[in-house]
Structure 1
Amino acid sequence: MPVADPTLDLERQLHGDGARFVIGCDEVGRGAIAGPVAVGMSVVGPGVGAQPTGLRDSKMLSEKRRESLAPLAQEWSLHSAVGLATAAEVDTFGIMVALGLAGKRALASLHESGASIMNCVVLLDGSFDWLTPALSSPPRVRTQVKADRDCASVAAASVISKVHRDRLMIAADDSLPGYGWKGNKGYGSAEHFAAIASLGATELHRHTWLRSRGRNGDFVKD
């Protein structure tokens, strides 16, 4: 059965309810064992035009298609940004706090680029609001399950953040070779775990996650 295109129906509803702008928000890298967690944001206004043809949740697109859509999604958005929290921050604070840090940094980047984030609504994929606790004076956050699939602004954020993070992980091949970053992007493939067991973990790895896996029966050389 064909998958329906994401729409702007919810964004238009939020505009109609008084939101000056809607900021679609999605994360990538949450389940990785290495690399940063990234939070993407895409700002749309009441007069936004149709989204780029073929825009989908990044998980539903090939790498090649994401690469071609990312610049189109950025051009379509009034503003867009990606915030990062490092593997060390994930280790220190936990994944939920790290997501909040990355989201706060994405909002700061939007502000620095000239985006007005007052009287906005952040449309956040999922059912749990990890963003509000990180902000001292937050915009209103609306959670929505499957927003990355159904809402065009969130789909744009997912593509923009996925491509941004993937490029960072691919570039790690130059400084930290032998881990297969280009293929695994920091996720826990069998080959990736074998490389860690052989070469040891790096500063790019989430060491608390690796130790947890080790306690469950898999040896990891840290």
Structure 2
Amino acid sequence: MARELKGERLEKELARLEAMKAYEKGYEDYTLICGIDEAGRGPLAGPVTAGAVILPKDCQILYLNDSKKLSEKRREELFLEIKEKAVSWCVGTASPARIDEINILQATYEAMREAIWGLSAVPEILLNDAVQIPKVEIPQVSIIKGDAKSVSIAAASILAKVTRDHMMAEYDEIYPGYGFAKHKGYGTAAHIQALKELGPCPIHRRSFIKNFVAEEAE
């Protein structure tokens, strides 16, 4: 991907990435700095996923940014590059049933803990996107809008987002008619219409769809 940028454009991108390394540079005494972020807290269907990634200190991945600011094609490319260059990475998930059982926030924390505990290397510090994860003894730093400010959190956001998108594409084949591959379970008009016509399927979050299909969700 580096070949796409030259001259001034390349210098500008490198400067942007250097600015995004400010938080990592603030913890230079640590070797294993882990970024944490989630994807899928808001949808009506599907799991919530959480990415955990430890990047090498000298790692350079062009275009790394908040996953929401990237095209699908760019995310897919970065997904592969992050996994290739990372010291360690893992994605945790919490199912729709688990979300209904313990609520979305607690399910998100579970997915984050699963991602952390699935790493092959134990992080020395966690850089989290705007949360403090309970039941984790590793020091944590909560950064508001961290996925746009930290390279580690940005990488984690991409791992979580792309992994979840792939899962929703698979669910689209198992439960056709809802359009999961297109809207990824979010509450679009087309999704809500399909939900009303077809009723909920096994991956719908019952606690999220009560306003649309109250009698079926009970």
Give the TM-score taking structure 1 as reference length.
Answer: 0.85
Query: Partner of 1:182 in structure 2?
Result: 181
Distance across 2 between alignment mates of 1:125 and 1:220: 36
User: Is the contact made by 2:51 and 2:115 (CA closer than 8 Å) also made in structure 1?
Assistant: yes
**Which residue of structure 2 lines up, in the alignment, with residue 37 of structure 1?**
48
The residue identity in structure 2 corresponding to 1:123 is: L
| Deviation of 1:178 (Å) | 0.5
Deviation, structure 1 residue 173: 1.5
Structure 2 CA distance for aligned equivalents of residues 140 and 67 of structure 1: 31
- What is the deviation of 1:202? 1.2
- Indicate the percent of aligned positions where both proteins have the same amino acid: 33
Q: 2:92 aligns with which of 73, 83, 92?
A: 83
Contact 1:210 1:220 in 2 (8 A): no
- 2:127 equivalent among 117, 123, 127: 123
Equivalent position amino acid for 2:34 in 1: I
SS at match of 2:208: helix
User: Is the CA contact (8 Å cut-off) linking 2:51 and 2:90 kept in structure 1?
Assistant: yes
Q: Is the 8 A contact 1:27 1:161 kept in 2?
A: yes
Measured after TM superposition, the shift of residue 50 of structure 1 is 3.6
Which residue is 1:72 aligned to? 81
Find the counterpart in structure 2 of residue 60 from structure 1: 69
In structure 2, relative to structure 1, the CA distance for the partners of 1:77 and 1:220 (3 Å cut) is: farther
Please state if 1:159 is matched with 2:158: yes
Residue 140 of structure 1: how far off its partner (Å):
0.9
| Contact persistence 2:20–2:148 (CA under 8 A) | no
Match of residue 190 from structure 2: 191
Three-state SS of the structure 2 residue aligned to 1:15 is coil
For 1:15-26, what aligned pairs fall within 5 Å after superposition?
15-16=28-29, 19-26=30-37
CA shift, 1:154, in A, is 0.6
Deviations 1:18-37 (A, max 9, x none): x3411101100011111110
Deviation at 1:72, TM superposition (A): 0.6
Please identify runs of 4+ aligned residues in structure 1 that moved more than 3 A. 2-6, 218-222
- How far does residue 96 in structure 1 lie from its aligned partner after superposition? 1.2
Corresponding pairs, count: 203
Kept in 2: contact 1:41–1:106 (CA 8 A): yes
Q: Structure 2 CA distance, aligned partners of 1:174 and 1:199?
A: 15
- Tell me, what secondary structure is at the counterpart of 1:10? helix
Give the distance between the partners of 1:182 and 1:69, measured in 2 at CA. Answer: 20
Q: Deviations over 1:141-163 (max 9, x none)?
A: 11001210011011111111111
Write out per-residue CA displacement over residues 89-117 of structure 1, whole angstroms, 9 at most, x where no aligned residue. 1101011110111011111211xxx3123
Structure 2 residues without counterparts, runs of 5 or longer: 1-11
Unpaired segments of 5 or more residues in structure 1? none
Structure 2 counterpart of 1:116, one-letter code: V
Partner SS for 1:64: helix
Q: 1:10 aligns with which of 23, 30, 41?
A: 23
Identify the residue that residue 3 of structure 2 maps to in structure 1: none
Q: Distance in 1 between matches of 2:186 and 2:47?
A: 11
Structure 2-normalised TM-score? 0.87
